[in-house]
Amino acid sequence: MSIAPALYWLPENPGWRSAAQDFRKSPTWAAAVALADARLDFVRTDMLDGLVRDAFQDAPQAEAAASVRLAVLGSSTLTHLMAGIRVAALRRGVHLTTYEGDYGQYRQALNDADSGLGAFNPTAILFAFDPWHVTAGIHPGLTTKDVDLLFDSVTETIAACWRTARENFGCAILQQTILPTFAPLLGSNEQRLAGSRAGFVRRLNAWLSAQSRAQGVELVALDERAAADGLDAWHDPALWYRSKQEISPAAAPIYGELVVRVLAALQGRSRKCLVLDLDNTIWGGVVGDDGVDGLVLGQGSALGEAFTAVQTYARDLAARGVVLAVCSKNDEANAFEAFDRHPEMVLRRGDIACFAVNWSDKAANLRAVAGELNIGLDSLVFLDDNPAERDLVRRELPMVAVPEIGDDPALYPRTIADAGYFESTGVTDDDRERTRQYRGNRQRDAARETATDMPSYLKGLEMRMLWRPFDRVGLARIVQLINKTNQFNLTTRRYTEKQVSDLMTDPRALTLQIRLIDTFGDNGIVAIVIGRLVGNTLEIDTWLMSCRVLGRQVEAATLNLIAEQALKMGAARLMGEYRPSAKNGMVRDHYRKLGFADIGADSAGHAKSMRDLSDFAPLESFIAIEEG
Amino acid sequence: MTEAEIYAGLTELLRDLFLRDDLVATPTLTAPDVPGWDSLKQINVIIAAEQRFGVKFSSREIESFEDVGSLARTILDRLG
């Protein structure tokens, strides 16, 4: 009996069935999201999917966080996996519709204008190839040379699919790795038999992970997940023979999670901050009672080593861009003493961007953490060993992720990883500097509170805006910002790496990547602008900014820079555009504030505004603008 | 586990799978009696039953399931 991989980090909901009945009678989007945010097996996943699809044919515009159209193109039966994908999106408040290619017809779907894929207009395409399909023709009698030829042919087919998808649809491309379903013929040294199907699959997976990045393709690593869960949890040979289901229906919920996590990462919907409780979460014991010297941490006991591993995992997450915070019921002095004095502490005070250590309730403190870091509550993951605290936070703040971590710290790191909260498709230099940047923000906030007035605070920051046109060095971060920024984003246009690099050589395009440096450090790239010269009008296609630098006059300085560059390109005026989305209400009046005149909305409801450059005088700001 | 408990479990499972609260698992119930019970749903019924009752059916057993009665009997044989 194989164990289906469970979404074990999500809470069991004993009242789920009756809540589902209530939903059926009076469906609301919020109730649907709440139903999805529980430990669902495939039956309940299917059930919820059916109920939600009856209730919401279209994305509920006002409520859904986003709308995604995902095409799944593969070589075997996929229908039974779609509910898992849709419900995993629902769990994140995202309305996802799927297009399923006809059985095995992925090339036709991509190339044939009438296939329906064009009408579906996907925002993402997932390629799902089964191991039988990609190893067709491989058998142990083949020579190494024959196998190499087949390998080249298979990889060229896959690469051609990626190319066609990009050229015809310009959307995000996902590729799932190949499940290692074949029984080995040699054993541990399987790779020594060229014509082994098991070895061929391993080789293909190595090729996928080596090639995907350069081709702008994101992997969905089924092989890794199946290795962790056990292949039996994912694949049942009897179902393959019976119905060509490569992936067992029982694995559909976790399959959907894996797919949607990558989509979420591309859209900037991964969580950003890990908030840690202290006592019995990152060390054993209660510091207020047991004292710093009485804490269980580090070498000398198995439990102490397990807590060390929790801290190490948190520190390593921080090193790749996850922000750490602390939320604990303690006297602050006791908590700080442990951080400063305990010799086995892996985490230091400097690793934590924000401390909320007091006796207030944890929901209030999590609100304070989000406020102080200037991120949404839906960016937080809260790690706490106490089930009562977890329950309270879930009830008060359903948007905060609170994993069921159990009571064994040895399992905490794996649980955080399995939950996939922090899925990321790559790491940029800014990610590595994240904690320092947030700490710099807090120092700036403190400076602002002590400054007597705003101008003297801004002046004291000694801000320098460093700008450059788009270039290879900045490409990864530029693409990340274009695809992740939701709030301060005038048009929310998303571009692929290829589209962005095409702009670099377009003489009629103005591209700006803008970095902000001040006395507290380098804020990294904080704003992106794309303009297009049409006649003598520079149309501002994209203007986005990191909310971390709100209220710092970056908008004004950026406009000065745009105007200066536009004049150099021969433009006589600027045209601004505001395309409303669910999240960008904060920039509704952006252009008006900068002195643009409304010229009405186009047929799609996108507000346009104009600013003449003949009498343009730079706006006042305390920011020095430098190219570099 | 008693036969009655198995039928009660199968009833809940069928109601969840087919979104119908009037379904009752009886020995003579077959796929054609339930709209939407196609070959893919048949697999879902079998796997859901495996998970719910903690058993794994062999390919031969799966081929032999003609009605809910034969499914219930196999589960009962296993759980004794």
pLDDT in tens, A277-296: 999 999 999 999 999 999 99
B19: left (phi over 0), alpha (psi -120 to 50) or beta: left
C-alpha angle A163-A165-A171 in degrees, rounded to nearest 5: 115
| Burial class, A54, CB count within 10 angstroms (exposed 0-12 / middle 13-18 / buried 19+) | exposed
**3-class SS at A383?**
strand
CB contact under 8 A, A42 and B47: yes
pLDDT digits (tens, 9 = 90+) for A184-226: 999 999 999 999 999 999 999 999 999 998 888 999 999 999 9
Residue A326 is predicted with a pLDDT of 97
Contact between chains at B44 and A50 (C-beta distance less than 8 A): no
The candidate with the shortest Cα–Cα distance to B32, out of B21, B42, B24, is: B42
β-strand pairing of A624-627 with A464-468: parallel
Determine the residue of chain A that is closest to B54 in CA distance. A1
- pLDDT tens digits, residue range A46-62? 999 999 999 987 777 66
Q: Which of B10, B13, B40, B43 to mutate to test the interface with A (most CBs of A within 10 A)?
A: B43
Each residue of A9-28: pLDDT tens digit? 999 999 999 999 999 999 99
| CA–CA distance, A277 with A542 (Å, rounded to integer) | 40
Q: What is the pLDDT of residue A62?
A: 67
Rg (CA), chain B: 11
Alpha carbons within 13 angstroms on the beta-carbon side of residue A578 total 24
pLDDT digits (tens, 9 = 90+) for A329-353: 999 999 999 999 999 999 999 999 9
Chain A residues whose CB is inside 8 A of the B50 CB are 1
- What's the Cα-to-Cα distance from A608 to each of A564, A579, A597, B8, rounded to whole Å? 21, 9, 9, 63
Cβ-contact A9, A419 below 8 angstroms: yes
CA distance A555 to B70: 71
**Predicted TM-score of the model (pTM):** 0.82
Residue A423 Cα, gap to closest chain B Cα (Å)? 29
Q: Testing the interface with A: which of B47, B52, B74 to mutate, by most A Cβ within 10 A?
A: B47
Cα atoms found within 13 Å of the Cα of residue A341, Cβ hemisphere only: 12
Residue A449 burial by Cβ neighbours in a 10 Å radius (0-12, 13-18, 19+): exposed
Rounded Cα gap, residues A174 and A132, in angstroms: 20
Q: Which residues of A touch B (CB under 8 A)?
A: 1-2, 4, 17, 21, 41-44, 46-47, 50-51, 77, 79-80, 238-239, 241-243, 245, 248-250
Q: Does B56 touch chain A (CB under 8 A)?
A: yes
Asked whether the beta carbons of A474 and A513 are under 8 A apart, the reply is yes
User: What are A297-302's contacts with CB under 8 Å, separation 24+?
Assistant: A297/A342, A297/A344, A297/A345, A298/A343, A298/A344, A299/A344, A302/A410
Share of chain B above pLDDT 90, in %: 79
pLDDT value, residue A1: 45
B62 touches chain A (CB under 8 A): yes
**Contact state of A79 with B39 under an 8 Å Cβ cutoff:** no
**Which band of pLDDT confidence, cut at 50, 70 and 90, is reported for residue A390?**
very high
B54 touches chain A (CB under 8 A): yes
Q: Is B48 on the interface with A (CB under 8 A)?
A: yes
Within 8 A of B55 by CB-CB distance, chain A residues are 1
A419: left (phi over 0), alpha (psi -120 to 50) or beta: alpha
Burial of A463 (0-12, 13-18, 19+ CB in 10 A): buried
Q: Closest chain B residue to A79 measured between Cα atoms?
A: B40
Ordered by where they begin, the domains of chain B are: 3-79 (1.10.1200.10)
Cα separations in angstroms, A182 against A142, A234, A258:
17, 13, 22
pLDDT at A2: 52
Helix, strand, coil percentages for chain A (3-state, nearest 5) = 45, 20, 35
Q: What is the pLDDT of residue A3?
A: 66
Residue linked to tokens 């194989």:
A2
Compute the distance between CA of residue A90 and CA of residue A220 in angstroms, rounded to an integer.
Answer: 19
User: CA of B35 to nearest chain A CA: how many angstroms apart?
Assistant: 14
pLDDT by residue (tens digit) across A65-83?
788 999 999 999 999 999 9
- Please report the ipTM that was assigned to this predicted complex: 0.89
Interatomic CA distance for residues A129 and A104, integer angstroms: 9
- pLDDT in the model for residue A323: 94
B55 interfaces chain A, CB cutoff of 8 Å: yes
Confidence at residue B18, expressed as pLDDT on a 0 to 100 scale: 92
- Which residue from A70, A18, A12 is spatially nearest to A41, judged by alpha carbons? A12
Bridge partners, A327 (sequence order): A356
Residue A79, amino acid: T
Could you say which of B13, B39, B43 has the minimum Cβ distance to residue A43?
A: B13
- Name the residue among A269, A249, A259 with its Cα closest to residue A220: A259
